[in-house]
Amino acid sequence: MADFTIPYEGRLLHGDAIDGDPARPLLIIHGAGESHRGRLAGWRGALQARGIGSTAFDCIGHGTTGGTLAESSLASRTRQAEAVLQARGMHGPVALYGTSMGAYNALRIAARRTVPALVLVVPGVYTPAAYETPFGPQFSQLIRQPRSWMASDAWDILSRYTGSLLVIAAEHDAVIPLEIPQRLMDSAVRSCWRRLLVVPGTEHNRLFSVLQERPAELDATLSTITECLHAGFAALPHS
């Protein structure tokens, strides 16, 4: 594992890279709240055992990057991820793995660059009205409007997406209604490969820990992630 720091608007974004197949680069974007890249270490280690490397970083207000959430927003998180891609030399096609809020950042990036594979885990989606709003009371008020996610641009983004798509949902997710993962899947009409995986008996923040107790299911889930990544890169046009 190689740690790195990247200057971003007067701060340093802290991250690390795990070696894997250089032909299939993967950026991981963590969620909101108390989340940070360290919480995804289990997934990343399990994927590395299958030859899949990854790059991950802590968004502003999280982990070793530090700072306050009020300094950031959905839009800022997207720009932070793009700054990491730029600084790390990930200029070509790159797969994205986004969890919770990070899934929406992955979608926004996929709308404007080549992303052959998207893995969206317990994915959150948001109304565009909240995109540039700094995290805080106004942001919370916007996203807590009943079914505000219905107005999300995520559906339109995925309607034009041609890469491979894997959506992983928790059966008993009290944060993300199962209607959201299903609608994401239904929107991806042009995707070259798509699958919705609902993991039974799991909650929003307890996917990997529960799957660790079920080795066969964990292995199957990792195989599906690997299949999604391979399908997306295989479908890229070759010069």
pTM of the model: 0.96
pLDDT above 90: residue 238 = no
Domain residue ranges of the chain, discontinuous segments joined by +: 2-234
Say what percent of the chain tops pLDDT 90.
96
Mean pLDDT of 31-36: 93
Q: How far is CA 12 from the centre of its chain?
A: 21
Query: Would you identify the CATH topology of the domain 2-234?
Result: Rossmann fold (3.40.50)
pLDDT digits (tens, 9 = 90+) for 157-200: 999 999 999 999 999 999 999 999 999 999 999 999 999 999 99
Given this model, what pLDDT does residue 30 score? 98
Confidence label for 239 from pLDDT (cuts 50, 70 and 90): very low
pLDDT above 70: residue 88 = yes
Say what percent of the chain tops pLDDT 70.
100
pLDDT digits (tens, 9 = 90+) for 130-165: 999 999 999 999 999 999 999 999 999 999 999 999
